[in-house]
């Protein structure tokens, strides 16, 4: 089965349609599938529901799909670094389903493992619990959260072999493995494709059975918040 594609657009060919549900890896601008996001923008696919920790920044990452009004709904934990995200939400132009970060990660993982739902204490007694089933275990209330199954997962990895085994680099792993797991189809962009058999099996973070297509490319790797200090003088 051929998994390696020459470009991000080719890797997404035949997968995109209006109104689809996409799970995207990344945290802030760390480990985001920037090439695949740009290809979705260029394809013009609209009315998207996107599950991702956040929505990038105003001019990068998923933020570029907000600029082009291609996203209808976000399922996210955090909106603070994207002024357009906040503006669209507060003006009613964008639907938003807030999820605590751990809940969102577990919803993705559960969907990828065939688990339709799970109970958690996180969010009990808050707006997160509104409209959700509450069940009591050992005298404590828990809310039911549904597993996420997306039409498409887009993720970013450090290395891959041609079978789709993935290795992520340090904190860039973040939401990528659970996001990859929950998609009916998963497309991964990577920095390097290595020969089959060269990856240490104990170092593989996501097995290739979850990954359907791979594209190698160059990545900008922007820094979301750059903090520096003045050089000290003697």
Task: Give the domain 4-132+141-216 fold.
Answer: Glutaconate Coenzyme A-transferase (3.40.1080)
Distance CA 139, CA 208 (A): 42
Q: How confident is the model at residue 143, as a pLDDT? A: 98
Would you state the structure tokens that stand for residue 57, as one six-digit string?
A: 């920044």
Q: How confident is the model at residue 81, as a pLDDT? A: 79
For the chain, list residues with pLDDT below 70: 234
Q: How confident is the model at residue 84, as a pLDDT? A: 93
Q: How confident is the model at residue 175, as a pLDDT? A: 98
User: Which sign does the torsion angle of CA 190, 196, 199, 202 carry?
Assistant: positive
Phi (first) and psi of residue 183, to 5 degrees: -90, 140
Count of Cβ atoms closer than 10 Å to residue 133 Cβ:
11
The DSSP line for 195-212 is -TT-S-GGG-SB-GGG--
Q: How confident is the model at residue 234, as a pLDDT? A: 63
Distance CA 178, CA 52 (A): 11
Q: How confident is the model at residue 226, as a pLDDT? A: 80
pTM to 2 decimal places: 0.94
Q: Where are the domains of the chain?
A: 4-132+141-216
Task: Write the pLDDT tens digit of every residue in 199-226.
Answer: 999 999 999 999 999 999 999 878 777 8
**Cross-strand bridge partners of residue 74:** 50, 96
């Amino acid at each position: 089965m051929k998994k390696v594609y020459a470009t991000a657009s080719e890797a997404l060919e035949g997968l995109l349609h209006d109104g689809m549900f996409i799970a995207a890896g990344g945290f802030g601008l760390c480990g985001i599938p920037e090439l695949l996001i740009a290809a979705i923008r260029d394809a013009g696919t609209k009315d998207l529901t996107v599950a991702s920790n956040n929505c990038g920044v105003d001019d990068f990452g998923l933020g570029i799909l907000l600029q082009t009004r291609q996203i209808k709904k976000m399922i996210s934990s955090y909106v603070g670094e994207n002024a357009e995200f906040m503006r669209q939400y507060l003006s009613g132009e964008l639907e938003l389903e807030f999820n605590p970060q751990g809940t969102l990660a577990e919803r993705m993982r559960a969907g990828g493992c065939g688990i339709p739902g799970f109970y958690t204490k996180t969010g009990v007694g808050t707006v997160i619990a509104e409209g959700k089933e509450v069940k009591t275990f050992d005298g404590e209330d828990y809310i039911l959260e549904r597993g996420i199954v997306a039409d498409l997962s887009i993720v970013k990895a450090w290395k891959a072999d041609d079978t789709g085994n993935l290795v992520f680099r340090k904190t860039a792993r973040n939401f990528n493995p659970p996001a990859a797991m929950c998609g009916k189809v998963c497309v991964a962009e990577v920095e390097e494709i290595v020969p089959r058999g060269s990856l240490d099996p104990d170092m593989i973070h996501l097995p290739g059975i979850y990954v359907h297509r791979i594209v190698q490319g160059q990545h900008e790797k922007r820094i979301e918040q750059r903090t520096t200090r003045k050089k000290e003088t003697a």
